[in-house]
Amino acid sequence: MQTKGWTNVKPETVEQWIGREEVQMIDVRSVGEYMEGHIPGAKLIPLDQLDVRTFEIDKNREIVCVCRSGKRSASACEYLASLGFSKVMNMDGGMSAWSGAISTQ
């Protein structure tokens, strides 16, 4: 589903992308939520820091934003799309819908 410059992606698809160099997973939850468990390889950039940390995100790679339920990550997608990021996706249902591997490191 195309929505204002970004799309939604199913958790099952995201799981298949773990470890792929062309995909960056950005976890926009709080530090505490991230430490409780996150998708392996996901980079923590809390939503309230995204505006000052966008330089850490490569515009040439696909970007998957993740949060607990999909709402904060949808906001992150909106923001990144407004800055001209063109390969932005929101993981449907967030970590609440995730059944794949979890990292706590």
Give the catalytic positions in this structure.
67
Pairwise CA distance, residues 33 & 27, whole Å: 10
In terms of Cβ atoms closer than 10 Å to its own Cβ (0-12, 13-18, 19+), residue 84 is: exposed
Helices and strands per DSSP (H, E), number in the chain = 4, 6
